[in-house]
Structure 1
Amino acid sequence: MASVLILTGSPSTVSRTAALAGHVADDLVAEGHEVQVLHLRDLPAEAVLTADTAHPSIAAAVRAVIAADALVVATPIYKASYSGLLKVFLDLLPQSALQGKAVLPLATGGTVAHLLAIDYSLRPVLVSLGARHITTGRFVLDAHIDHRSGGPVIVDDATIACLDRTSAAFRAELRSPDAQLSALAAATA
Structure 2
Amino acid sequence: MPNVLTLSGSPSARSRTSSLVRHVGRLLTDEHHDVRHIAVRDLPPEPLLAGNAAHPAIREVVEAVDWADALVVGTPVYKAAYSGLLKTLLDLLPQFALAGKTVLPLATGGSTAHVLAIDYALRPVLTSLGTDNVLRGWFVLDRHVSPDAPETEGSGVVAAEAADGVTETVDRLLDSLAASPPAAVAARPGLAPAV
TM over 0.5: yes
Partner Cα distance (2:144, 2:49) in 1: 32
1:1-189 residue pairs with structure 2 within 5 A?
1-147=1-147, 150=152, 151-155=155-159, 157-176=160-179, 179-180=180-181, 182-183=182-183, 185-186=184-185
Give the Cα–Cα distance (whole angstroms) in 2 for the partners of residues 68 and 171 of structure 1.
14
The higher relative CO (CA closer than 8 Å, separation ≥ 6) is in 2
When the two structures are superposed, what TM-score results if normalisation uses the length of structure 1?
Answer: 0.93
Question: Which whole-Å CA distance do the structure 1 matches of 2:86 and 2:161 have between them?
Answer: 28
Gaps of 5+ in 2: 189-195
RMSD, aligned CA: 1.5
Deviation at 1:154, TM superposition (A): 1.5
CA–CA distance in 2 between the matches of 1:76 and 1:138? Answer: 12
The whole-number CA distance in structure 2 between the counterparts of 1:187 and 1:129 is 16
TM-score w.r.t. structure 2 length? 0.90
Q: Provide the secondary structure at the position in 1 that maps to 2:73.
A: strand
More strand by share: 1
CA gap of 1:148–1:5, structure 2 versus 1, over 3 A, is: closer
Name the one with the larger helix percent. Answer: 1
Shift of 1:55: 1.0
Q: Distance in 1 between matches of 2:173 and 2:87?
A: 23
Aligned to 2:53, the other structure's residue is in SS state coil
Q: Percent identity?
A: 51
Instruction: Point out where structure 1 has 5 or more consecutive residues left out of the alignment.
Output: none
| Deviation of the 1:27 alpha carbon | 0.9
- Poorly superposed stretches of 4+, deviation over 2 Å: 185-189
Deviations 1:130-155 (A, max 9, x none): 11311111000101112256412112
